[in-house]
Amino acid sequence: MALNASLAFLTVLQLAAATTSSFQERCLAFDPTEHVTNTTLRIREYVPANSTILLPGMDPSCSRLNQTIPVAACRIALTIPTSNRSSFIYEHFFPEQDAWTGRLLATGNGGIDGCIKYEDIAYGLEHGFTATGTNNGHNGTGGTAFLNNEEIVKDFSYRTIHTAAEAAKVLTKALYDKKPSKSYYTGCSGGGRQGIQAADLYPKDFDGILVGAPGINFNYMSAWRASFFTYTGAINSSSFISAATWEGLIHDEMLKQCDELDGVQDGILVDPALCVGVFQPETLLCSTTTANTSACLTPHQVEVVRKVFTPLYGESGELIYPPLSPGAETVATQRLLSGTPFSYSVDWYRYAVYSNPAWDPASWTIHDATVGEEKNVGNARSWPSDLSPLRDNGGKMLIFHGGADQQITGLDTERWYNYLSRSMDATSDELDAFMRFFRIPGMNHCSGGTSAWQIGQSGAAAQNLPYEAGNNVLAALVDWVEKGEAPDTVMGTKFVDDNEKKGVALTRKHCRYPLRSTYVGGDSTLAASWVCR
Ligand SMILES: *[C@@H]1O[C@H](CO)[C@@H](O)[C@H](O)[C@H]1NC(C)=O
Ligand SMILES: *[C@@H]1O[C@H](CO)[C@@H](O)[C@H](O)[C@H]1NC(C)=O
Ligand SMILES: *[C@@H]1O[C@H](CO)[C@@H](O)[C@H](O)[C@H]1NC(C)=O
Ligand SMILES: *[C@@H]1O[C@H](CO)[C@@H](O)[C@H](O)[C@H]1NC(C)=O
Ligand SMILES: *[C@@H]1O[C@H](CO)[C@@H](O)[C@H](O)[C@H]1NC(C)=O
Ligand SMILES: *[C@@H]1O[C@H](CO)[C@@H](O)[C@H](O)[C@H]1NC(C)=O
Ligand SMILES: *[C@@H]1O[C@H](CO)[C@@H](O)[C@H](O)[C@H]1NC(C)=O
Ligand SMILES: [Ca+2]
């Protein structure tokens, strides 16, 4: 009796302590390893609002030295095992309980990397999410860790995001004493691919999935990216086309031939597909009288340009990957057209496909595309044919892809959308009920570009715009999930020179596929001059 009474008394004391102790104390007393088994605590700290955390452990290739954390937060980092020879680093930031909206935001990675996107975590925190990130099973931007360890490839392919989502829900409940009301995911590029894998393989993990420029069709995408070096040759090869020639001569000719196909001469190709098969680089051939000037191309160079804008066909003649989006050639000089092998493809072939660090990217042929697809190491393909489990679970997915993406062509996302439509026997209206795909003309890979690219896809892309459904894809996704208000269009903004102080250059209501932005007259920089048809 006396024992029971003192136990009851203790409980009351503990409750009182829990409610009166500061969030900081609760954070520092929190033991996440009690809640997620077999994990190792790496970091537990209370981060004051607007303080800058240093990231000394980050692989230098990630180029992330520090991160400013916008709100006071409890930071937990763990090592979480995924098999007996793989594990990942997990970061979880919890805003103060009163600043927490009840939502969870998981963030993805990029490329084939294991770089935690602390900037995306900060973006989530700023808007009241408890936010997580992972190193996706390995450190740095390269793929050497994949060598002879498919467990690490599985982590990269799909398993880290899933395992982290489960841990995140458990830890959220443990620290706040409340489960997340809704769980979201955001990622672009490699992170977009991770989002598609989550939608396909773990449709209950997230209520809302924000996918940018997804690296789906991953095996063939890796092949496609590898193919460029074999077309362009190395920088010092005789027919190599310089960045200046791509950016000046070829891009100008591209605009001459294709810019007005959308009715407006504005340097933006609203629908680059209209230009595929139409653009004729032969017009740039040097004539016998203009030979060897910088204003024309040799027959071999014309052939290179033609290949860049032609789909990649597989060994048996089937289309396996669409071409570079016409219009993206200027920014593509940074990587695909740079005369150096595309590093992610090189590492994928060397360490995942062939387990041969000596594999030579100059030796790539279309047969390597076949091998990569057949091996499908770690189930990295990412090309789902049925997302009805996501739909039936009430999940929503908002996808966007830039029309001038210089690393992953948006035409492949269109291909996948059409494939999914056929394989699910679902019309666009039916797909719209849970999945909407917005094409962002003129936007580069994930961000940047000559058109209205700021849609709130990241903290940087949300700057100086209201955080509300009409102007921000993350806010739009939340409203779709929580209020059933699906976004018809996505408003994009471009500031002059991307500097808000210089004013707005243009706005555009981007359309959901298969609708296309159609000019109806008036000032083409104004959203009202366009409709979706
Ligand atoms: C934890 O690790 C032990 C030994 O390493 C293993 O037997 C057990 O299955 C693991 N538990 C979980 C939940 O992974
Ligand atoms: C953090 O910085 C932002 C912007 O500089 C400011 O609005 C906010 O009040 C700061 N928060 C705290 C707690 O200092
Ligand atoms: C990855 O980086 C972390 C530091 O952030 C380090 O503790 C860990 O050992 C690294 N993992 C590998 C496999 O190098
Ligand atoms: C944070 O990193 C940036 C470079 O990304 C650097 O310029 C700055 O000095 C760093 N700040 C601190 C506090 O280390
Ligand atoms: C690791 O796990 C696999 C099965 O998942 C097993 O075949 C293998 O023997 C284990 N290796 C060690 C060192 O425990
Ligand atoms: C071209 O550059 C590569 C390294 O980028 C070098 O291996 C090769 O020898 C060079 N070829 C010529 C002809 O200079
Ligand atoms: C073309 O012109 C460049 C300099 O403008 C010169 O170095 C090069 O030898 C010329 N090539 C031919 C084939 O005449
Ligand atoms: Ca145009």
Is there a contact between 445 and 407 (Cβ–Cβ < 8 Å)? yes
- In the prediction, which pLDDT does 6 show? 45
227 and 367 co-located in one domain? yes
Which residue owns the Cα nearest ligand 6 atom 11? Answer: 236
409 and 287 co-located in one domain? no
Q: Can 35 be counted among the known catalytic residues? A: no
Dist CA 188 CA 109 (whole Å): 7
Question: What are 112-140's pLDDT values in tens digits?
Answer: 999 999 999 999 999 999 999 999 999 99
Q: Is 49 in the pocket of ligand 2 (CB under 6 A)?
A: yes
Tell me whether residue 471 is in a domain: yes
Distance set, CA 429 to CA 434, 435, 476 (Å): 10, 10, 19
161 and 204 co-located in one domain? no
Tell me whether residue 84 is in a domain: yes
- Indicate whether 103 pLDDT > 80: yes
176 and 144 co-located in one domain? yes
Dihedral class, residue 380 (left if φ above 0, else alpha if ψ from -120 to 50, else beta): alpha
What's the structural domain count of the chain? 3
pLDDT level of residue 291 (50, 70, 90 thresholds): low
Q: Can 445 be counted among the known catalytic residues? A: yes
As a whole number, mean pLDDT of residues 36-54 equals 97
What is the best residue among 62, 113, 139 to mutate for testing ligand 3's pocket, by most ligand atoms within 8 Å of CB? Answer: 139
Pocket of ligand 6 (CB under 6 A): 234, 236
* H-helix segments, 268-342: 299-308, 329-332
Q: Is 40 in the pocket of ligand 1 (CB under 6 A)?
A: no
153 vs 2, higher pLDDT: 153
Question: What are 219-262's pLDDT values in tens digits?
Answer: 999 999 999 999 999 999 988 999 999 999 999 999 999 999 99
Tell me whether residue 506 is in a domain: no
Tell me whether residue 532 is in a domain: no
* Bond into 514 cis (ω within 30): yes
As a whole number, mean pLDDT of residues 321-346 equals 98
As a whole number, mean pLDDT of residues 500-526 equals 98
- In the prediction, which pLDDT does 21 show? 73
Tell whether pTM > 0.85.
yes
Which residue owns the Cα nearest ligand 4 atom 13? Answer: 52
Is there a contact between 311 and 227 (Cβ–Cβ < 8 Å)? no
Q: Which ligand is located closest to the Cα atom of residue 78?
A: 3
Q: Can 189 be counted among the known catalytic residues? A: yes
Pocket of ligand 3 (CB under 6 A): 57-58, 89, 139
66 and 103 co-located in one domain? yes
Other C-beta atoms closer than 10 Å to the C-beta of 428 total 16
As a whole number, mean pLDDT of residues 423-446 equals 98
Distance set, CA 72 to CA 66, 94, 98, 167, 530 (Å): 16, 8, 11, 22, 43
- Indicate whether 11 pLDDT > 70: no
What is the best residue among 61, 63, 66, 118 to mutate for testing ligand 4's pocket, by most ligand atoms within 8 Å of CB? Answer: 66
Q: Is 50 in the pocket of ligand 2 (CB under 6 A)?
A: yes
303 and 268 co-located in one domain? yes
pLDDT level of residue 294 (50, 70, 90 thresholds): confident
81 and 189 co-located in one domain? no
Domain closes at, from 319, 346, 378: 378
Cα 378 to ligand 5 centroid, rounded to whole Å: 17
* H-helix segments, 202-285: 218-232, 243-245, 251-258
- Indicate whether 265 pLDDT > 70: yes
393 and 372 co-located in one domain? no
> Please, what is the average pLDDT of the chain?
95
Retrieve residue 194's tokens.
């991770």
Place of tokens 């139409």: 278
- Indicate whether 289 pLDDT > 80: no
Is there a contact between 192 and 161 (Cβ–Cβ < 8 Å)? no
Q: Which atom of ligand 2 is nearest to the CA of 49?
A: 13
348 and 311 co-located in one domain? yes
Tell me whether residue 520 is in a domain: no
- Indicate whether 15 pLDDT > 70: no
| Range 359-363, long-range pairs (CB < 8 A, 24+ positions) | 361/226, 361/229, 362/229, 362/230, 362/234
Cα 65 to ligand 4 centroid, rounded to whole Å: 6
Cα 84 to ligand 5 centroid, rounded to whole Å: 6
Dihedral class, residue 498 (left if φ above 0, else alpha if ψ from -120 to 50, else beta): left
Which residue owns the Cα nearest ligand 3 atom 4? Answer: 57
91 and 106 co-located in one domain? yes
User: Beta strand 489-495 with 504-511: parallel, antiparallel or unpaired?
Assistant: antiparallel
- Indicate whether 44 pLDDT > 50: yes
Domain closes at, from 152, 180, 208: 180
What is the best residue among 36, 37, 38, 83 to mutate for testing ligand 1's pocket, by most ligand atoms within 8 Å of CB? Answer: 38
Dist CA 127 CA 139 (whole Å): 28
Domain closes at, from 318, 353, 378: 378
- 3-state SS, one letter per residue, for 427-489: CHHHHHCCEEEEEECCECCCCCECCCCECCCCHHHHCCCCCCCCCCHHHHHHHHHHHCCCCCE
Question: What are 157-201's pLDDT values in tens digits?
Answer: 999 999 999 999 999 999 999 999 999 999 999 999 999 999 999
Half-sphere exposure of 472 (CA within 13 A, CB side): 21
Query: Choosing from 86, 87, 183, 189, which is the catalytic residue?
Result: 189
- Indicate whether 19 pLDDT > 80: no
- In the prediction, which pLDDT does 238 show? 87
Q: Write out the residue range of the structural domain in which residue 210 sits.
A: 183-216+382-488
Q: Which atom of ligand 4 is nearest to the CA of 64?
A: 5
Q: Apex CA 135: angle with CA 133 and CA 141, to 5°?
A: 125
pLDDT level of residue 5 (50, 70, 90 thresholds): very low
Cα 84 to ligand 1 centroid, rounded to whole Å: 9
207 and 234 co-located in one domain? no
- The percent of residues in the chain predicted with pLDDT above 90, rounded, is 94
Tell me whether residue 241 is in a domain: yes
Tell me whether residue 495 is in a domain: no
Half-sphere exposure of 231 (CA within 13 A, CB side): 25
As a whole number, mean pLDDT of residues 21-36 equals 96
- In the prediction, which pLDDT does 279 show? 97
Q: Give the helix, strand, coil percentages of the chain, each rounded to 5.
A: 40, 20, 40
Query: Choosing from 120, 266, 271, 405, which is the catalytic residue?
Result: 405
Tell me whether residue 244 is in a domain: yes
Query: Choosing from 445, 451, 510, 517, which is the catalytic residue?
Result: 445
Half-sphere exposure of 414 (CA within 13 A, CB side): 18
- In the prediction, which pLDDT does 292 show? 56
Q: Which atom of ligand 4 is nearest to the CA of 63?
A: 5
- In the prediction, which pLDDT does 7 show? 44
108 and 90 co-located in one domain? yes
Question: What are 300-312's pLDDT values in tens digits?
Answer: 999 999 999 999 9
